[in-house]
Amino acid sequence: MKLLLYGNGNRLRSSRLLQKACGINIEVMWMLGGLTPDFRTISDFRKDNIKCLKKVFRQFNACVCKLLPHGALSVDGSKFRACNSKDNNFTAAKLQDRIDWLNRHSDEYLRQLEELDALDDENERGGRFAREELEEKILATRERLERYRSYQQQMEQSGQCQLSLIDQESKLMKGKDGMVVGFNVQTAVDTESHLIEDFNVTTNCTDHGEIYPTLSKIRESTEGVIDSIEDKGYFQSANKKSSPKQQKDVNNL
């Protein structure tokens, strides 16, 4: 726990960097009493105690914030790439395109195989593939078709619009570098201390409606009104609360 808190305050997030610090950083060596845990030990500890760690880090940030100037909260979202490539992510349209493409190729291979069967001598045919090659391609095409149809059936049963094979919670969304498979991480940062007050990991492709989920934990532990700053991408009428006069003025704009 000491090591993770030290890394949080010194921008050492990776378990491998924390392992390296245990052997070369005098502060860490003194703090841990000479212990040198492996990076897997550090990673497993963080993974197995993630719920407790969130509470500890919130308390740690709250204690630090009391010693630093406090300002408004700036909320923004960032797209974090998941350990899931685009080839292992499927939408309904992408799956249907793959199935249609395989059906066309399967029909073409079958047509070539029928032409080959009609000839007495395979050498008379000037095609690209021999009989064995065509049979192997037809078999491989049918296996891929069955796999894609099982993905399609899985999406229909779960009601999901996307399917990721490796990181199943990740979604295809638009980032600054184009389309990526990942998560939309919402962070609330204090404008004076520049500390992250809280965060929220979502699979929402946009920031609409993410103000309340991101600030709800802070609101529960804070007395009074929270001043926050967001861009117009967060606007959602359901989260807007105003007096009748203010609503009338807004409607007249």
Q: Which two tokens stand for residue 41?
A: 């030990």
List beta partners, residue 180: 173
CB neighbour class for 23 (10 Å; exposed up to 12, middle 13-18, buried from 19): exposed
Give me the pLDDT at residue 247, please. 44
Q: Write down how long the chain is.
A: 253
- Report the SS3 class of residue 161: coil
Confidence bin at 35 (pLDDT 50/70/90): very high
> How far apart are alpha carbons 157 and 151 in whole angstroms?
10
Spell out the alpha helix ranges (H) of the chain: 2-9, 15-24, 26-31, 39-48, 50-67, 92-118, 131-158, 211-221, 244-251
Least confident of 61-70, 86-95, 138-147, 185-194: 61-70
Region 112-130: what's the mean pLDDT?
Answer: 66
Please state, rounded to an integer, the average pLDDT across all residues of the chain: 84
Give me the pLDDT at residue 253, please. 35
> How far apart are alpha carbons 97 and 118 in whole angstroms?
32
- Count Cα atoms within 13 angstroms, Cβ side, for 11: 1
* 133-156 pLDDT, tens digit each: 888 888 999 999 999 999 999 999
Instruction: Examine the pLDDT at 246 and tell me if it is beyond 50.
Output: no
Region 172-177: what's the mean pLDDT?
Answer: 86
pTM above 0.75, yes or no: no
